[in-house]
Amino acid sequence: MAVATYPETQMTEAEVYEFAKQENYKTVEKISEKGLAVIYLLQKDE
């Protein structure tokens, strides 16, 4: 699953990590930071 954050969503890096923890994602990796968008890759163990 990819999560993109923008200033309008006001989702901080800490909130992305908290969301991942609540949804039982095992890893969170920042895969792109272009302009105002930051994209994180969230992965669960398959």
Q: pLDDT digit string (tens) for 5-18?
A: 777 667 888 999 99
Residue 8: predicted pLDDT: 66
The structure's pTM equals: 0.73
pLDDT at 22 over 70: yes
Q: In angstroms, rounded to a whole number, what is the distance separating the alpha carbons of residues 5 and 29?
A: 13
Higher pLDDT, 38 or 8: 38
Residues of the chain with pLDDT > 70, as a percent, come to 91
Residue 37: predicted pLDDT: 85
